[in-house]
Amino acid sequence: MSGWMMMVLLGGVAAASLWLGGVARSLWTMVGAALMLGAAGYAAQEHAGLGGHPVRPDRDPVAVYPQVTELRDQMLGRFSGDGAYLIASDALMRSGSRDSGTRIVLMGANAYPRSLTLWTGLGTALAQHDGGVVSPAAKLAFDQATRLAPEHPAPPFFEGLAYVQSGDFRNGRRYWARALALSPQNAPYRAGIALRLATLDAMMARMPAG
C-alpha cells in the first residue's frame, strides 16, 4: 500500500472515530491540522508515492533540549498553526533527518511568510542543518525574523544560541544581552535568558585571554 493511500485511510479512520466518539466539532479542526501537518512532513521526505520503508538518518541526530523548547514555547507559543511546523521539525531533527527537518520549517515559512515563529525557527534549523554554524542562510532567516519583530527577544536569543553552540561565545553573548534587554520584567522566560547569560559570562571569564 502506498504512503498516500495509507494517509487517506488514516484520515478516514480518524474522522469516523471522532464522529462515533461524540467529539465536539470544535476539536475536529485541531485533529485535521495535525493530519495535514503529518502529510506535509511525509511529502517533505520526497518519497510520498512509494511504499513504506524505514527512514534512515542523513546525519547524526540533533539534540533538541526540553529546556530550550520550553523557553521557545514561552516566547512564541506552541498551540498554533505555525508552531506545529516547529514541533514536526524537532521530531525529524531528533531522528537525524536534518534535511527534512529544515525543509518542513521552510514549507511553513512559505505558508506563513510573516511568521516570527517560523523565521526564527528556520534560522535555528538552518544552523543545525549546516553543521552547527550560523551560515549565511541561517543569518538571513534570523535577520528576517528581526525585521518582522525588531523589539521581540526571540530572534536575538535563538541567534545567540546558535552562535554559542557553534563556539562563537562573544557573538552569542552580544545577542543574549540584547534578548535580555528586550524581555519584559514580568515575562516568564526572562529568568531563563538571564541564567544562560550569567552562565556564559562565568564560562568566558574562566577562558584564557586571547
Helix (H, G, I), strand (E, B) or coil at 189: coil
* CATH code: domain of residue 178: 1.25.40.10
Task: For residue range 117-162, list pLDDT tens digits in order.
Answer: 999 999 999 999 998 999 999 999 999 999 999 999 999 999 999 9
Report the alpha-carbon angle 103-106-108, nearest 5: 115
Q: Are residues 202 and 166 in the same domain?
A: yes
Residue 105 lies inside a defined structural domain of this protein = yes
Q: Are residues 78 and 34 in the same domain?
A: no
CA-CA-CA-CA torsion for 89, 94, 97, 100, nearest 10 degrees? 0
Per the structure, the count of domains in the chain is 2
Q: Residue 134: is it exposed, middle or buried by C-beta count within 10 angstroms (0-12/13-18/19+)?
A: buried
What is the percent of the chain with per-residue pLDDT over 90, rounded to a whole number?
Answer: 60
Task: For residue range 59-108, list pLDDT tens digits in order.
Answer: 677 888 899 999 999 999 877 788 899 999 999 999 888 999 999 999 99
Of the pLDDT bands very low, low, confident and very high (cuts 50, 70, 90), residue 21 is very low
The pLDDT score that the predictor gives to residue 5 is 52
Q: Are residues 138 and 194 in the same domain?
A: yes
Q: Are residues 21 and 91 in the same domain?
A: no
- Phi and psi angles of residue 2, each rounded to the nearest 5 degrees, phi first: -70, 165
In angstroms, rounded to a whole number, what is the distance separating the alpha carbons of residues 31 and 114?
A: 24
Q: What is the pTM of this model?
A: 0.74
Q: Which domain holds residue 35?
A: 3-44
| Radius of gyration, CA atoms only, the chain | 19
Residue 157 lies inside a defined structural domain of this protein = yes
Segment among 3-17, 86-100, 139-153, 177-191 with least mean pLDDT: 3-17
Segment among 37-41, 68-72, 113-117, 182-186 with least mean pLDDT: 37-41
158 contacts: CB under 8 Å, gap ≥ 6: 72, 120, 121, 123, 124, 142
Residue 60 lies inside a defined structural domain of this protein = no
Q: Are residues 26 and 117 in the same domain?
A: no
Residue 57 lies inside a defined structural domain of this protein = no
